Amino acid sequence: MKICQIQMDMKLGDPVYNFARAELLIGKAACRQPDVICLPETWNVGFFPRKGLAELADRDGRAVRERIGGLARRFNVNLVAGSAAILRSDGGCVTNTALVFDRAGDCVAEYDKVHLFTNMEEEKYFTAGARLCVFELDGVRCGLITCYDLRFVEWVRKTALAGIDILFVGAQWPASRLSHWRVLNRARAIENQIFVAATNSCGVAGETRYGGHSLLIHPLGDVLAEAGDAEEILETEINLSELAGIRAEIPVFRDRREKLY
């Protein structure tokens, strides 16, 4: 499976620019004929405009579904659309929501970020989700989390226990904590024996510089590909047939003692 990760530099609070930029980059990535294209977290508005967030957010995800889902169909590619700030018309709340589209442009998964980063008061502007995200792309079972979720080992393990082979991570991870970004993504891959495709943003929003260095991690923890700190399309081919041997050699899921924890 070939995966293209779009490490995007978006403009804070400018969804018009960001949609156009995402569409352009998706088109460039599609020229490489990947199986999956990934975007980072809150690519439509950046992370995250406190003033006027509800007005900037995509109402019920309509624009993402129409424009990004339409590109999945046009290019015949699976598209893990990072996450977007979405205004829910049924309750008036804003969610940090990832949408996943298959090659036909159908939305096959939707995930509201579960763990909101209180140090940046994310919980005051977004409503948290409460459900796992597990889906299939081209017959491959996948899971999805968003940024801060990566620090919660129990949540990732619960996702892994659903039988996934690839975990997609969309993020706005700051440059100041890049060492954590690398270690946590590698750890989640090793302990759960899965491929991890972690797509970060780059550039500056407000006072925060985002770190880039999107990663594709092998289930043994090896870094198969790593982006730099600027806008980039990271392309990686993964061999899913390796998973069976890895899991047989170190059978951590068979040897778990669930009754103790």
Which are the catalytic amino acids? 41, 113, 147
Q: What is the dihedral of CA 146, 35, 161, 117, to 10 degrees?
A: 0
Q: Which residues pair with 80 in a beta bridge?
A: 38, 100
What whole-number distance in Å separates Cα of residue 225 and Cα of residue 251?
A: 26
For the chain, give the DSSP string. -EEEEEE--PPTT-HHHHHHHHHHHHHHHHTT--SEEE--TTTTT-S--STTHHHHSEETTHHIIIIIHHHHHHHT-EEE---EEEE-TTT--EEEEEEEE-TTS-EEEEEE-SS--GGGTGGGTS-------EEEETTEEEEEEEGGGGG-HHHHHHHHTTT-SEEEEE---BGGGHHHHHHHHHHHHHHHT-EEEEE--EEEETTEEEE---EEE-TTS-EEEE--SSSEEEEEE--TTHHHHHHHHS-HHHH--GGG-
Q: Burial level of 238, CB count in 10 A (0-12/13-18/19+)?
A: buried
